[in-house]
């Protein structure tokens, strides 16, 4: 509920949300989306707006096909059950793409968070952005056709990329793991294909958003750290909002300095980055050197599952390095929960146990007294869930409400094609 409740809390009782009616309708629509079924009484209580004002906004949302009458419901101590409203799933769909270095996971979801279709393309980002995005777009069109929909049914698209992204304009900026993608406008590419709003973000940001929302507003702020081909981070504030910073680089922990590894060359061109010493590839390289034979990242996970002593020892040492970096982050931003994600953490307790040991020892007592450090509860689904939430919230944002309630004949370019 994060961004919704932030806006609700900014409202003064008895104040109208005007002059921006789209903002008022966005708050109401997202409240309904978050709550499943919400009554007028709930909206009045949460916003302090007059019932007549809310009735007008609700009617606009109903006429636009974004919400619908959900009948009578709710439990009240006094009086009869109230009329409730719910999101209208038939209004259209949100397309989600969770891009990793070696594949792309896709999903089609409705505005009420139901998954209509899903697929995976085994394609490497090394092929370049045009080839990759073209294949992704064609697959999404096929998926839509398979469930009786067309590209015009897409209300928004959310794309997560495994690298730094200027989330304001949807452009990858010097992504170390994505050669050829620097400056490529993925947002504009998808907007041309589907003529709807497109939002492009870092993949770990979307994972963090998915994890945070899975707790229903608890354990915030939340910091997610993903250990994979790279090392990434995503931070969700106490109000439930993703922290992007001025240009989208906030929480990108992979390229901060790692202790005692100042000479290791990173993909970004610098030396001593956390990613260069604690990614799955870095761990696999160290195991390879120790056992005298090549060990791939997948084989590293297999060796961990089998409890191979050399592998376990190296992974624990790596987790110690990561723990020191996380301890500094805990002192800086004081999260309530740290989520450690990635296949190498899901298959063993060694990584999490070592990180906990270092963080609780090195971080300040005030910052750790209520801190929990846990595995990802969504696993490989986190990016898709976060992308779905991001896409739905774009549809129901003030801009999205304006876009989907515009009068016939009026024009409004989708994000990616419109000047920002």
Does residue 224 sit within a domain? yes
Q: Based on the number of CB atoms within 10 Å of its own CB, is 173 exposed (0-12), middle (13-18) or buried (19 or more)?
A: middle
Question: Is the separation of the CB atoms in 322 and 274 below 8 Å?
Answer: yes
Q: Is the peptide bond prior to 120 cis by the omega test (within 30 degrees of 0)?
A: no
Find the CATH number of the domain harbouring 335: 3.30.420.40
Find the CATH number of the domain harbouring 52: 1.10.10.10
**What SS3 state is found at 178?**
coil
Structure-token pair, residue 148: 């009786």
Q: Give yes or no: residues 366 and 241 share one domain.
A: yes
Q: Give yes or no: residues 245 and 289 share one domain.
A: yes
What are the beta bridge partners of residue 96? Answer: 107, 158
Question: Is the separation of the CB atoms in 368 and 359 below 8 Å?
Answer: yes
Q: Give yes or no: residues 219 and 173 share one domain.
A: no
Does residue 113 sit within a domain? yes
C-alpha distances in Å from residue 139, one per residue of 96, 132, 177, 335: 12, 11, 23, 38
Q: Give yes or no: residues 25 and 99 share one domain.
A: no
Q: Give yes or no: residues 267 and 281 share one domain.
A: yes
Q: Give yes or no: residues 237 and 332 share one domain.
A: yes
Q: Give yes or no: residues 219 and 249 share one domain.
A: yes
Q: What are the tens digits of pLDDT across the range 16-53?
A: 434 488 898 999 999 898 877 888 888 888 888 888 88
Please enumerate, as own/partner, the contacts of 240-245 that have beta carbons within 8 Å and a separation of 24 or more: 240/1, 240/2, 240/3, 240/4, 240/5, 240/6, 240/212, 240/213, 241/2, 241/3, 241/6, 242/201, 242/205, 242/208, 242/209, 244/167, 244/205
Structure-token pair, residue 102: 């070696």
**What SS3 state is found at 69?**
strand
Scored b (16 or more CB within 10 A) or e, 265-293 reads: ebbbeeebbbbbbbbbbbbbbbbeeeeee
Q: Give yes or no: residues 19 and 73 share one domain.
A: yes
Q: Give yes or no: residues 65 and 149 share one domain.
A: no
Does residue 413 sit within a domain? no
pLDDT tens-digit profile, the chain (420 residues):
333 333 333 333 333 434 488 898 999 999 898 877 888 888 888 888 888 889 999 999 999 889 888 777 655 545 567 788 999 988 899 999 999 999 999 999 999 999 999 999 999 999 999 999 999 999 999 999 999 999 999 999 999 999 999 988 889 999 988 999 999 999 999 999 999 999 999 999 999 999 999 998 899 999 999 999 889 999 999 988 999 998 888 988 999 988 776 788 888 888 989 999 999 999 999 999 999 999 999 999 999 999 999 999 999 999 999 999 999 999 999 999 999 999 999 888 999 999 999 999 999 999 999 999 999 999 999 999 999 999 999 999 999 998 888 776 667 777 777 666
- Contacts of 392 by beta carbon, 8 Å cutoff, 6+ apart: 33, 94, 109, 111, 113, 156
Give the end of a domain, one of 87, 104, 130.
87
Q: What are the tens digits of pLDDT across the range 52-85?
A: 889 999 999 999 889 888 777 655 545 567 788 9
Does residue 275 sit within a domain? yes
Q: Give yes or no: residues 202 and 172 share one domain.
A: yes
- Contacts of 330 by beta carbon, 8 Å cutoff, 6+ apart: 338, 359, 363, 364, 367, 368, 371
Question: Is the separation of the CB atoms in 92 and 197 below 8 Å?
Answer: no
Does residue 414 sit within a domain? no
Q: What are the tens digits of pLDDT across the range 243-255?
A: 999 888 898 899 9
Does residue 411 sit within a domain? no
Residue 397 CA from chain centroid, whole number: 16
Q: Whole-angstrom Cα distance, residue 389 to residue 206?
A: 9
Residue span of the structural domain in which 17 resides: 2-87
Does residue 419 sit within a domain? no
Does residue 412 sit within a domain? no
Q: Give yes or no: residues 322 and 220 share one domain.
A: yes
Q: Give yes or no: residues 363 and 294 share one domain.
A: yes
**What SS3 state is found at 235?**
strand
In the DSSP assignment, the letter for residue 322 is H
DSSP assignment of 269-313: S-BSBHHHHHSHHHHHHHHHHHHTS---HHHHHHHHHHT-HHHHH
Structural domain count of the chain: 3
- Residues in the chain, how many? 420
């Amino acid at each position: 509920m994060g961004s919704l409740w932030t806006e609700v809390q900014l409202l003064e009782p008895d104040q109208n949300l005007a002059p921006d009616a789209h903002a008022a309708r966005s708050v109401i629509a997202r409240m309904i989306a978050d709550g499943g079924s919400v009554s007028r009484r709930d909206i009045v209580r949460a916003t302090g707006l007059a019932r007549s004002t809310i009735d007008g906004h609700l009617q606009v949302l109903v006429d636009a096909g974004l919400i619908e009458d959900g009948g009578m419901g709710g439990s009240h101590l006094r009086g009869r059950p109230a009329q409730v409203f719910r999101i209208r799933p038939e209004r259209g769909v949100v397309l989600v793409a969770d891009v990793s270095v070696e594949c792309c996971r896709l999903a089609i979801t409705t505005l009420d968070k139901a998954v209509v279709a899903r697929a995976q393309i085994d394609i490497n980002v090394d092929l370049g952005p045009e080839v990759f995005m073209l294949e992704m777009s064609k697959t999404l069109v096929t998926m839509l056709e398979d469930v009786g929909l067309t590209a015009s049914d897409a209300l928004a698209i959310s794309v997560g990329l495994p690298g730094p992204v200027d989330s304001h304009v949807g452009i990858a900026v010097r992504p170390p793991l994505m050669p050829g993608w620097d400056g490529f406008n993925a947002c504009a590419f998808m907007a041309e294909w589907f003529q709807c709003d497109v939002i492009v973000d870092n993949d770990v940001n979307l994972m963090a958003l998915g994890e945070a929302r899975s707790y229903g507003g608890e354990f915030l702020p939340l910091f997610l750290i993903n250990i994979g081909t790279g090392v990434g981070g995503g931070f969700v504030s106490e109000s439930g909002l993703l922290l992007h910073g001025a240009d989208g680089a906030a929480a990108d922990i992979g390229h901060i300095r790692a202790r005692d590894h100042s000479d290791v060359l990173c993909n970004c061109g610098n030396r001593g980055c956390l990613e260069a010493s604690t990614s799955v590839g870095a761990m696999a390289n160290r195991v390879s050197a120790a056992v005298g034979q090549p060990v791939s990242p997948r084989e590293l996970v297999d060796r961990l599952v089998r409890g191979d002593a050399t592998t376990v020892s190296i992974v624990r040492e790596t987790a110690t390095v990561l723990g020191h970096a996380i301890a500094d982050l805990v002192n800086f931003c004081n999260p309530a929960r740290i989520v450690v994600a990635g296949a190498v953490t899901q298959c063993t307790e060694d990584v999490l146990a070592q990180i906990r040991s270092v963080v609780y020892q090195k971080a300040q007592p005030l910052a750790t007294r209520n801190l929990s450090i846990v595995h990802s509860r969504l696993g490989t689904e986190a990016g898709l869930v976060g992308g779905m939430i991001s896409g739905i919230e774009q549809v129901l944002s003030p801009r999205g409400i304006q876009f989907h309630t515009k009068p016939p004949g009026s024009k409004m370019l989708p994000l990616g094609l419109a000047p920002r």
